[in-house]
Amino acid sequence: MKILITGAAGYIGSVLVPILLQKGHEVIAVDNFMYKQTSLLECCHYDKLTLINEDVRNAVLIEQQLKKVDAILPLACLTGAPLCDKDPITARAVNFEAIKTILAKRDPDQMVIFPTTNSGYGVGEEGIHCTEETPLRPVSLYGQLKVEIEKMILESGNSITFRFATVFGVSPRMRLDLLVNDFTYRAYHDRFIVLFEAHFKRNYLHVRDAARAFIYGLENFEQMKGEAYNIGLSDANISKAELCKVIKEQLPNFYFTEAEIGEDVDKRDYIVSNKKIEAAGFKTEHSLAYGIKELIKGFQIIKKSGYGNI
């Protein structure tokens, strides 16, 4: 296939692009490299890679590239609640308006696979798994924009959306502001964490499984199109305190405690069912423990400066 990927040099994109090229696909990779990342350097030897250093808000450029492709993966995004809250105008322009433009300009036969987020569930009910039918109640601008554009994408037809769990693991465009990555970094370097509202639960997903989901969607598009799918580790609906216990298994000197006062600004608290995507044939391959082991290796190489979204 010929595939257009926006945000191609991002946390997920820089894992996904090499896989697509190795499988023989042609990739048009658009990214403005706003974090000065060098994550696609290793792909430059592929003749089937077209690399464009440009902003996704350039509607003329995007329309030109859309004419050349079979599938569109709009990954470009101001990712995460803190970053969107810091710059809400840009967040709406990139996370909503730019994708709306893609939908308006694409051919109806072109496939769209879009990564949204299960953070749209906001605050769930204790003991009840959020399914794709659960009402969406985002608690941040980031979640709201993702929910809005997901609805528009699915209504446009010939599309799939993936509601990813909180992603973790090592990527060429590393991020340390993601929960598992952050906690493991602190456990490795600082050896302690003070938790706020340690009982809040989330679901988790390795970045390589996120990339694999796009491959699976492309290869099984006809059977899956028109639907949203939760994607995460079904054995990792765990609280922040439980996550720390998993990390401590590999870093025994790690100490964590919960503050008696104070609160987490991130109010997300939910557990998620991934049965729908599993019934469609997709299974995750990388466990939470695997990802933590990988991160510990990575943290012998990198320091915190420059490896986050804010």
Give the pLDDT confidence of 287-305 residue by residue, as tens digits: 999 999 999 999 999 887 6
Q: Label residue 260 by pLDDT band (50, 70, 90).
A: confident
Phi, psi of 8 (to 5 degrees): -70, -20
The domain ranges of the chain are 2-165+205-231
Sign of CA dihedral 32, 34, 36, 38: negative
CATH class of this structure's domain 2-165+205-231: alpha beta
Residue 127 reports pLDDT greater than 90:
no
Q: What is the pLDDT of residue 310?
A: 64
Q: Is 73 helix (H, G, I), strand (E, B) or coil?
A: strand
Please count the other Cβ atoms lying within 10 Å of the Cβ belonging to residue 120: 26
Phi, psi of 215 (to 5 degrees): -60, -45
Phi, psi of 169 (to 5 degrees): 115, 170
Residue 123 reports pLDDT greater than 90:
no
Mean pLDDT, residues 158-182: 96
Contact between 150 and 116 (Cβ < 8 Å): yes
CA distance 178 to 163: 16
CA distance 234 to 254: 26
CA distance 24 to 236: 33
Closest listed residue to residue 228, CA positions, set 93, 103, 144, 112: 112
Q: What is the pLDDT of residue 51?
A: 98
Contact between 226 and 159 (Cβ < 8 Å): yes
Q: What is the pLDDT of residue 303?
A: 80
